[in-house]
Amino acid sequence: MMENKSNGNGQKEWQPKIVAFFCNWCTYTAADSAGVSRIKYAPNIRIIRVMCSGRVDPQFILDSFAKGADGVLIGGCHPGDCHYQEGNYKCLRRFRLLQRVINSFGIEPERLRLEWISASEADRVRVVVNEMVNQVKALGPLALPQKYEELKKEIEHHPVTSEIKEE
Amino acid sequence: MTNQGNNKDIRIGFYICHCGTNIASTVDVQKVVEFASKLPKVVVSRDYKYMCSDPGQELIQKDIKELGLNRIVVAACSPFLHEKTFRNASSQAGLNQFYFQMVNTREQNSWVHLDPYASTEKAIDLVRAAIYRVVYHKPLEQKRVPIHPDVLVVGGGIAGIHAALTLANAGKKVYLVEREPSIGGHMAMFDKTFPTLDCAACILTPKMTAVKNHPNITLWTYSEVIGVDGYVGNFKVKVRRKPRYINEDLCIGCLDCIEACVYKEGRFYDEFNLGLSKRKPVYIPFPQAVPLLVVIDPETCIQFKSGKCKQTCVEVCEPNAIDFTQKERIEEIEVGTIIIATGFQTFDPKKIPYYGYGTYPNVYTALEVERLINASGPTQGQIVLRDGTRPKSIAIIHCVGSRDKNTNQWCSRVCCLYSIKLAHLLKERTEAEIYNFYIDIRTPGKMMDEFFIRMKEEGIKFIRGRVADIYPDTSNGCCGKLVVKAEDTLVGEIIKVPVDMVVLSIGLEPRADAQEIRRMFNITCSTEGFYIERHPKLAPVNTFTDGIFLAGCCQGPKDIPDTVAQAGAAAAEALTLIDTGYIEIEPNTAFVLEDDCSGCKSCIPLCPYTAISFLEDKKKAFINEVLCKGCGTCVAACPSGSIVQNLFEDEEIFSEIVGVLNYTYHEEEV
């Protein structure tokens, strides 16, 4: 179940949660440098560090959505600048495929974003995160865990589906 | 219930740092502590003002010993800053250092958000993720990589020269690679240096000669690095040695061939004098060049262009050193560490058309004036304009291509001081009236401001105002003077000063090919193109790539004293690695779970380091740990999930996802 978003302050607008996978050498460093420069951006992002955007397993993304993320952001080095030569290209391939896959699952492709942000582009972190947060806010909650919950109940109380299941 | 793994004896200690007020003023530290204390397997949850301080580290160590902790999570600054500190603290208390996880709560949280509530929520999510993750951590051994003792220094300016000599004097073998035919760099072009006014050549040429004569230095000029492979301790470098068309072993530097060339006078752009003089197709860059070897320029030499030259140079060369058939050579060397000292280029003032450089012959760049003043320059040190007359009034325009939104935003740091120096030298030689147009005078550093005050007392004029226009004086049928128009911001008036000569104090820029060089060495540079140091204060000569160090202006504009200091620091960093003999690197390599591998070979072509091979007998993939650099691309691609990356295992990342999203499983799903 998703955490109840209501808080001690009473009514607060719904805030999307965005899981980000940032590569160690470029985008994670850029995010650090944004901090050093005291650049301010939306607090909705939860950064998970990986060594390379090539490490981002499609399962990480699907799992993030399935477990309640409203958006997933991947940050890697610019083409040609990968610390591991070409991991970012591998990431790009998977990203293209994944966009189609999530679309067929009924997840808007805009909820998944891939950005090349080099270590020096601290301000780009701000721009991308803010853009993404606004975009996902406009789309509204994805809330897959709750949807699965409802789906499960439906299956349990639907004899036809259980017959099909038994076949 | 959350999925916490199956190890029942896990005892986690959680610590959050206030970092003074850096974290505590935005993140509700107490709330995080309280939250963490309630998470499963957390034995102790504490906060402390400065976790990185000795008492902070001792707090962790005491808890490890007294409470039997076997996992540590610290929420503090970026892991880039203090992960090592806390890993060391843990390992000193007897815990494997990789049973540690850090939560970036400063750079990526308290410093970038304003809302304390949201910031605290974020901290809680990330702390949860780290605590879930650390459960899966494995005790790992750090890999030790041996360091090849030889060093490559790229760039033979003062930075490269000083770094090479420092290393060579310490008994290390150094390859010094310089693109131009001679070492010396920009410093060799200068006349005098501020603030001491000692002549650049007098202090530089002894060092240049020392490089050439040093038994530990292999000097390759007219050469370029074209490929770099490998990693810290074991770089394989390819160097292209361009043909000089002179046999280096035979040429004795008598320069008879230059005299004998069929061109009786120099006809071609002289690179060293910035075109203020002409050279022949066979030439030396400057009289003090090291090595003192002639170069034949195939672009201008008749023999290369038509094949029908009388070859008077060949006739006169007694040692028979001229070789028109010489081809470029590729040398391959192995080194353990690399120092990048590729320097800078000067701003091209043609980008500011209203200053008239290239249009009005009496507008010069500061570097051209350095050559004019220099006794071995194109005019033997005479300050004369292109028409041969001596200027009676000179304007020096500061900040050309610096501190300007339209060109380069940074302060080039040396221009104020070299402008003041040039003002002094020009006044000394010409007794002209000198006007400095400046935005601000920036003269930090030892003896620098004193130098400025002294020069001001000499009667050099300083006008505060950015120059808006430079145009020919056409009043009263006048005289070829240039009018410098600016607002004197101290008086609040537009002033127009007619002068004979304009000197543009051009700023320092990254080299045009900085990006290509950066890619080749796998280091990072800022958007403008200066290479980025690992930490601006605490690792100023290191790069993000282990074993590669920076020196001089390739890292940012700086003067000669700072360049030399940095070159010494880079040499010391290289020495530290060489004398330790090895470096410990992150054990984040991947390995194959043989039982699960289906032998599909999907991973093999993905590896950029050809670390993965196929064991034909077992029909399984195999990862060579020595070659693996730990990117994890193969792990993400394996369809059967049978490749594991240390420190970034699937379980570790999945548990982080669960943690940041606060996802809870239902009973039936477990």
Residue pair B533/B570 in contact (Cβ under 8 Å)? The answer is no
Strand partners, B613: B622
List pLDDT tens digits, range A75-84.
Answer: 999 998 899 9
Q: Distance from A52 to chain B by nearest Cα, in Å?
A: 5
Q: What angle do CA B473, B477, B478 make, to 5 degrees?
A: 45
Strand partners, B83: none
pLDDT at residue B670 in the model: 34
Return the number of other C-beta atoms located less than 10 Å from residue B81's C-beta. 17
Which residues of chain B lie closer than 8 angstroms to A10, CB-CB? none
The residue of chain B nearest to residue A33, with distances taken between CA atoms, is B107
pLDDT at residue B6 in the model: 47
Which residues have C-beta within 8 Å of that of residue B416, sequence separation ≥ 6? B398, B438, B441, B442, B443, B452, B505
pLDDT at residue B83 in the model: 95
Residue pair B498/B393 in contact (Cβ under 8 Å)? The answer is yes
Query: In terms of Cα–Cα distance, which of B408, B389, B254, B242 is closest to B320?
Result: B254
Q: What angle do CA B551, B555, B560 make, to 5 degrees?
A: 55
Q: How buried is B583 (Cβ within 10 angstroms: 0-12 exposed, 13-18 middle, 19+ buried)? A: buried
The residue of chain A nearest to residue B23, with distances taken between CA atoms, is A35
CA distance B210 to B530: 29
| CATH level 2 (architecture), domain B346-509 | 3-Layer(bba) Sandwich (3.50)
Strand partners, B153: B176, B339
Stretch(es) of chain B classified as CATH 3.40.50:
7-140
The residue extents of the domains of chain A are 18-141
pLDDT at residue B527 in the model: 81
Class of A18-141 in CATH? alpha beta
Contact A119 B524 (CB under 8 A): yes
Contact A29 B121 (CB under 8 A): no
Query: In terms of Cα–Cα distance, which of A33, A59, A9 is closest to A19?
Result: A59
SS3 state at A16: coil
pLDDT at residue B3 in the model: 39
Class of B144-242+328-344+515-582 in CATH? alpha beta
Based on C-alpha coordinates, what's the Rg of chain A? 18
Based on C-alpha coordinates, what's the Rg of chain B? 31
Residue pair B547/B255 in contact (Cβ under 8 Å)? The answer is no
The residue of chain B nearest to residue A92, with distances taken between CA atoms, is B633
Query: In terms of Cα–Cα distance, which of B153, B182, B470 is closest to B333?
Result: B153
B477: which DSSP letter? G
Query: In terms of Cα–Cα distance, which of B148, B230, B233, B335 is closest to B608?
Result: B230
Q: Is B325 on the interface with A (CB under 8 A)?
A: no
Q: Extract the tokens encoding B308.
A: 């029908």
Class of B7-140 in CATH? alpha beta
The beta strand positions in B552-607, using DSSP E, are 582-585, 590-592
Residues of chain B with pLDDT under 50: 1-6, 667-670
Contact B524 A26 (CB under 8 A): yes
SS3 state at A98: helix
pLDDT at residue B665 in the model: 61
Of the residues A1, A15, A49, the best mutation for testing chain B's interface (the one with the most B CB atoms within 10 Å of its CB) is A49
Query: In terms of Cα–Cα distance, which of B209, B235, B207, B237 is closest to B224?
Result: B237
Of the residues B21, B112, B134, B534, the best mutation for testing chain A's interface (the one with the most A CB atoms within 10 Å of its CB) is B112
Contact B632 A50 (CB under 8 A): yes
Question: Which of A31, A64, A120 shows the shortest C-beta gap to B526?
Answer: A120
Interface A-B, measured as beta-carbon pairs within 8 A, has a size of 154
SS3 state at B643: strand
Query: In terms of Cα–Cα distance, which of B419, B410, B411 is closest to B437?
Result: B419
The residue of chain B nearest to residue A25, with distances taken between CA atoms, is B544
Which residues of chain A lie closer than 8 angstroms to B527, CB-CB? 118, 120-121
Q: Is B535 on the interface with A (CB under 8 A)?
A: no
Q: Distance from A137 to chain B by nearest Cα, in Å?
A: 16
CA distance A98 to B566: 47
Could you give the percent of chain B with pLDDT greater than 90?
91
Question: Which string of b and e fits B283-302 if b means at least 16 CB within 10 Å?
Answer: bbbbebbbbbbbbbbeebbe
CA distance B629 to B497: 62
Which numeric CATH code is attached to B590-646?
Answer: 3.30.70.20
Contact A17 B660 (CB under 8 A): yes
Question: Which of B112, B631, B660 shows the shortest C-beta gap to A41?
Answer: B112
For chain A, the maximum distance between any two Cα atoms, rounded to a whole number of angstroms, is 61
Element (H, E) at B65: helix B54-67
The residue of chain B nearest to residue A48, with distances taken between CA atoms, is B656
Q: Is B113 on the interface with A (CB under 8 A)?
A: yes
Query: In terms of Cα–Cα distance, which of B273, B517, B525, B510 is closest to B412?
Result: B510
Contact A52 B631 (CB under 8 A): yes
Question: Which of B113, B532, B636 shows the shortest C-beta gap to A55?
Answer: B636
Residue A3 has pLDDT above 60, yes or no: no
List pLDDT tens digits, range A120-167.
Answer: 899 999 999 999 999 999 999 999 999 988 888 888 887 555 555 554
Contact B631 A55 (CB under 8 A): yes
Contact A51 B632 (CB under 8 A): yes
Strand partners, A45: A18
Q: How buried is B516 (Cβ within 10 angstroms: 0-12 exposed, 13-18 middle, 19+ buried)? A: exposed
CA distance B425 to B437: 17
pLDDT at residue A163 in the model: 54
Residue pair B244/B222 in contact (Cβ under 8 Å)? The answer is yes
SS3 state at A36: helix
The residue of chain A nearest to residue B530, with distances taken between CA atoms, is A120
List pLDDT tens digits, range A56-92.
Answer: 999 999 999 999 999 999 999 999 889 998 999 999 9
Tell me, what's the ipTM?
A: 0.90
The residue of chain A nearest to residue B630, with distances taken between CA atoms, is A51
CA distance A138 to B124: 26
Chain B from 608 to 647: CB within 8 A of any A CB: 608, 629-633, 635-637, 645
Which residues of chain B lie closer than 8 angstroms to A9, CB-CB? 117
Return the number of other C-beta atoms located less than 10 Å from residue A4's C-beta. 6
Stretch(es) of chain B classified as CATH 3.30.70.20:
590-646
SS3 state at B574: helix
Token pair 């074993």 is at which residue? Answer: B547
List pLDDT tens digits, range B468-515.
Answer: 999 998 877 667 899 999 999 999 999 999 999 999 999 999 999 999
pLDDT at residue B514 in the model: 94
Contact B650 A55 (CB under 8 A): no
Return the number of other C-beta atoms located less than 10 Å from residue B3's C-beta. 16
Q: Distance from B519 to chain A by nearest Cα, in Å?
A: 6
Which residues of chain B lie closer than 8 angstroms to A46, CB-CB? 122, 125-126, 129, 660-661
Query: In terms of Cα–Cα distance, which of A112, A102, A42, A35 is closest to A75?
Result: A112
pTM for the model: 0.86
CA distance B364 to B358: 9
Query: In terms of Cα–Cα distance, which of B122, B102, B103, B104 is closest to B28?
Result: B122
